């Protein structure tokens, strides 16, 4: 879980002041963290793609974390590794100083 918290922290740092909200929820048993930005510069988009590639490249199986990016809606989706506990992960993110918002 420590690596997942660090991944989210790095994604939030990359978005910087354009980060609008960070929401955690469970979707069909999969813990998902959605980071939304107000705007994204081309350099940020390139860095997000590089970071997503790095995170996705860590695991060779279905239990690894996965990142997807929707440039039109300016959203980054982080799918936590299989078996991640929503409550525990949420608490770990809060302890790491990541401000979570209620789902909209």
pTM of the model: 0.90
Rounded distance between C-alpha atoms, residue 103 and residue 21, angstroms: 9
Buried-exposed string 8-40: b where 16+ CB fall within 10 A, e elsewhere: beebbebbeeebebbebeeeeeebbbbbbbeeb
Q: Is the pLDDT of residue 103 over 90?
A: no
- What pLDDT was estimated at residue 60? 64
Would you state the structure tokens that stand for residue 37, as one six-digit string? 């930005």
CA distance 90 to 93: 5
Stretch 75-103: mean pLDDT, rounded? Answer: 93
Q: What is the mean pLDDT of residues 84-98?
A: 95
Antiparallel, parallel or unpaired: β 66-70 and 75-79: antiparallel
Q: Domains, the chain, ranges and CATH?
A: 2-95 (3.30.70)
The confidence score (pLDDT) of residue 61 equals: 64
Q: How far apart are CA 99 and CA 57, in angstroms?
A: 27
pLDDT tens for 32-88 read 999 999 999 999 999 999 999 999 877 666 678 999 988 889 999 999 998 999 999
Could you give the C-alpha distances from 16 to 9, 59, 71, 82, in angstroms and in order?
10, 27, 16, 28
Query: What pLDDT is stored for residue 66 in this prediction?
Result: 92
Q: Would you say residue 25 has pLDDT above 80? A: yes
Judge contact between 31 and 84, C-beta under 8 A. Answer: yes
Running DSSP on this structure, what letter comes out for residue 85?
-
pLDDT of residue 62: 64
pLDDT > 80? residue 14: yes
């Amino acid at each position: 879980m420590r690596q997942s918290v660090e991944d989210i922290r790095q994604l939030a740092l990359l978005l910087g002041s354009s980060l609008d909200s960070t929401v955690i929820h469970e979707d069909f048993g999969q813990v998902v963290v959605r980071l939304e930005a107000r705007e994204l510069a081309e350099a940020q988009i390139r860095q997000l793609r590089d970071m997503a590639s790095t995170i996705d490249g860590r695991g060779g199986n279905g239990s690894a974390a996965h990142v997807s990016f929707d440039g039109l809606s300016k959203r980054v989706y982080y799918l936590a590794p299989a078996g991640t506990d929503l409550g525990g992960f949420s608490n770990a993110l809060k302890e790491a100083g990541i401000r979570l918002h209620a789902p909209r």
